[in-house]
Structure 1
Amino acid sequence: MIGMAKACSGGGSLLNYIMNDRKGYELFRNNLCGLNPKEIIEEMNMIQDLNHRAKNKTLSLVLSPSIDDGHKLSNSELKKMTVEFMEELGINADNHQILAFVHTEKRHKHIHIYCGRLNMETGKMVNDHFIGKKAQWAAHRIASRLNLLSAKQIMFCKIKANQNEGFTIPKSTKDEIYNKHLKAIERQYNSLEEYFLVMKTMGVEVQPSVNKQGLIQGYRFVNVATKESFKASEVNRKINLKDIVGKPIIETNQKPKIKFRHGS
């Protein structure tokens, strides 16, 4: 299963493509009654114009099961899967203007979701920060729950088939973070800040945990894409950041010492 998402300005071209009866059929809709793209856009504009600051007020989402899974899934299962996908992205289907359309013209049956970002109950906009990455992981988690094949599972299997010595296949976000940590500590550091920066370039933010006395009592690892947060000990009990600074992990003739410019 593949999940895709992006915030966009919406418009007739996108909705005309989605609402094409020659491509498929409507799965479900919420808070919309228009009969054609023009009427639906007019409806959505009435709500979206309540927020004057946001630029991209529409979400274009795609959920695509594998070919075999797509043939097996019923419409009720496709709808349930779509609602769960949106919930993973912070979208309450009952409180947003939504049109979901199934395209069947290709071997891959897939669902296009045209969604207004504005929550009609709270007046808040759905956070679109890293929404593309969030959609990928949301599809993976849903596929895992429903025993369906996900794109990330396929990727992991391909990696495993060609894996290098010492590389382990991530089985969870924690495993992925730990593998990135192992890669990061192949270098020698003069300060923890250098290590933090290297981890951040790999999509993991390391945050100190401060107690009431203002003292650092540990660290948390945050997956930037999914916002999942774990204590260092939860990721792996072997992690000890105190040993990183000034301790070369590999021979210096294998990899050069990382250099950082001031102010970077």
Structure 2
Amino acid sequence: MIGMGKSISHTGASLGYGWNEEKDAKVVYREHLAGDNPKELTQEFKLIQTQNHRCKKNTLSFVLSPTIEDGKELKEKELKEITERFIKEMKLKERQAIAFVHQDKSHRHIHLYVNRIGFDGKAYKDNYIGKRSQQAAEKVAQQMGLTTVREVQQEKLNEVKNVRQEIKQIHEKVITEMKPKDFDQYIRYMKQNDVKVVPSISKSNQLRGFRFEYKGQNLKGSEVHRSMSMGRIAERIGFDKNIAKKIAKENTVAMLGKTVGLLPNLVTTITKKAFRIAVKKTIGLGIEI
């Protein structure tokens, strides 16, 4: 579950958004409020807020978002409990407050509004309120057996790690088994294995690297593995000697129907590799004679 919080000055508009019937909003919690519509609720908030004219952002706005899977299982009673526990963790009890659940989308979430001004006229201290909201939501999730932010983050990290490994394996297969002779072939062979390779071209039309799209992830080559930087990939592609000569002369390469510029170090990498291959072939032919 994710928790977000901030202080706001637009109380009426926010309460109107919370009560939005188009979002199938339902009140799941209310404290020290009797109003039946946003206008009445705003007036009740303002009645207390008039005790403190110095505080301009006098309403606290929170959003509590369980994961999609958790949200599907939560009943109204449990959504109320989430709100009550969150208010307790934030030390906001005995204040005017109202919470709505929005369920217009598959991702159910709670909008909670609390009067920042207490009945004693004092303003609730809102320093680091965003961070404190995250921490409070994390504690509530743990208390109620819901998925925490850390668990979601770890799951995403594991997913990215698996995708990186799969892209690397496909890359190795393409390089060692399919042996591409230029960037176009490399891109085509990777696509045949469900990996989309997207060249990164600078504004000055120079090839900077490749990005890899696979299973919903979009990663730079260096993010996949250090061996998949632009230079490392170029080292392992078997460019033809004549193509390499042209690249060395023009500092450009034909790719995906366009001509793009190459950085000097990449040109050197390509030409050295091509000539090494050519020398090996010549030596091999000499031995056979």
Q: Which amino acid aligns with 1:33?
A: A
Report SS of the residue matched to 2:22: coil
CA distance in 2, matches of 1:60, 1:51: 18
Any conservation in 2 of the 1:98–1:114 contact (CA below 8 Å)? yes
Q: How does 1:1-264 map to 2 (within 5 A)?
A: 1-23=1-23, 24-92=25-93, 95-120=94-119, 122-159=120-157
Identity value in percent: 41
Q: Which amino acid aligns with 1:156?
A: Q
C-alpha distance in 2, partners of 1:69/1:152? 15
Task: Using the TM superposition, give the Cα deviation of residue 161 of structure 1 relative to its aligned residue in structure 2, in angstroms.
Answer: 6.2
- What is the CA deviation profile of residues 200-251 of structure 1, one whole-angstrom value per residue up to 9, with x for unaligned ones? xxxxxxxxxxxxxxxxxxxxxxxxxxxxxxxxxxxxxxxxxxxxxxxxxxxx
Amino acid at match of 1:5: G
Query: Take 1:29 and 1:10, find their aligned partners in 2: how far apart are those partners?
Result: 19
- Asked if structure 1 preserves the Cα contact closer than 8 Å seen for 2:67 and 2:107, the reply is yes
Deviation of 1:73 (Å): 1.4
- 1:61 aligns to what SS in structure 2? strand
The 10-residue stretch of structure 1 (99-108 or 13-22) with the greater mean CA deviation from structure 2:
13-22
Cα distance in 2 for residues equivalent to 1:112 and 1:76: 16
Summarize deviations over 1:130-155 as a string: whole Å, max 9, x none.
Answer: 00011111111111121111222211
Matched position secondary structure for 1:128: coil
TM-score for the superposition, normalised by structure 1 = 0.57
Q: Alpha-carbon deviation of 1:162?
A: 6.3
Q: How far apart, CA to CA, are the structure 2 residues paired with 1:35 and 1:145? A: 32
- Where does structure 1 lack aligned partners over 5 or more consecutive residues? 164-264
- For 2:144, the aligned partner's letter is L
Deviation at 1:12? 2.5
Which whole-Å CA distance do the structure 2 matches of 1:144 and 1:137 have between them? Answer: 11
The structure number with the bigger radius of gyration is 2
Amino acid at match of 1:151: V
Tell me the TM-score normalised to structure 2 length.
0.52
By percentage of residues, which structure has more helix? Answer: 2
Task: Say whether the 8 Å CA contact 1:6–1:61 is kept in structure 2.
Answer: yes
Distance 2:6 2:20 in 1: 21
Residue 258 of structure 1 is matched in structure 2 by none
Alpha carbons of 1:161 and 1:108: their partners in 2 closer, same or farther (altered >3 Å)?
A: closer
Give the number of equivalent residue pairs: 160
Q: For residues 52 and 27 of structure 1, do their structure 2 counterparts lie closer, same or farther at Cα, with a shift above 3 Å needed?
A: same
Structure of higher RCO (CA pairs closer than 8 Å, 6+ residues apart): 1
